[in-house]
Amino acid sequence: MRTVDDFKNGQVLLIDKPLEWTSFQVVNKLRWHIKQRFHLKKIKVGHAGTLDPLATGLLIICTGKETKNINTYQGQVKEYTGTFTLGATTPSYDLETEINQTFSTAHITANLLTETTQQFTGNIQQKPPIFSAIKKDGKRLYELARKGETTEIKAREVTVFEFEITNVTLPEVSFRIVCSKGTYIRSIAYDFGVALNSGAHLSALRRTKIGDYAVKNALKIEEFINSLEVE
């Protein structure tokens, strides 16, 4: 049974983020319920690594003094599973925006897909999506993108430790990727499409691991709230 002191001294909560929730909405929801349960005016609660609203899966939430260690959790290796849809691109590289170009997929084979993954394994250069939370000149890139403004984004080095194709039902291709902090799976989707001489966008994404923490051990938001009431 967790006490108010447990939450103040620091807890690491594993939460399975639902689709269409922002990471900040999850933090705010949990903070509100912890405050209500223990009649607190304030308590520190933060997440260790953003998930896009269209992604699901593991969020590490820290409370109290444990929020000081958020950067340690953020820096750990991540594992994702998901789906690329081939033959079409979107400006955001995912389903946030509408399809803007279509391409043939007639030449794509299972062997070509497997061979192409090798181009994206190891240390790679990638440009973050224009629809991202990275700041430039004090503004987030997605704010500029939604206004139709273009800006030059510098490529950055990230590391992909594992990249495997787990299922192919064209135009959908399922994958598993293990990568370093700062890797944009949406950018891999776009670049993968280019490398295939086609196009691609990310149509589903789930974070399954952060370091040694796994989503199979995470609680749904309602499960966590119910556990507070039991305690």
Active site residues: 52
ω before 129 within 30° of 0 (cis)? no
CB atoms closer than 10 angstroms to residue 126: 20
* The token pair that represents 204 in the structure block: 């589903």
**Residue 224 burial (10 A CB sphere; 0-12, 13-18, 19+):** buried
On whether the CB atoms of residues 82 and 30 are closer than 8 A, the answer is no
The phi and psi torsions of 56 (rounded to 5 degrees) equal: -120, 175
* The token pair that represents 131 in the structure block: 């629809």
Residue 80 vs residues 5, 145, 198: alpha-carbon distances, Å? 34, 26, 23
On whether the CB atoms of residues 79 and 37 are closer than 8 A, the answer is no
User: If you ran DSSP here, which 8-state letter would residue 217 be given?
Assistant: G
**Alpha-carbon torsion angle 126, 132, 135, 137, nearest 10:** 90
Q: How far is 189 from 173, CA to CA, in rounded Å?
A: 10
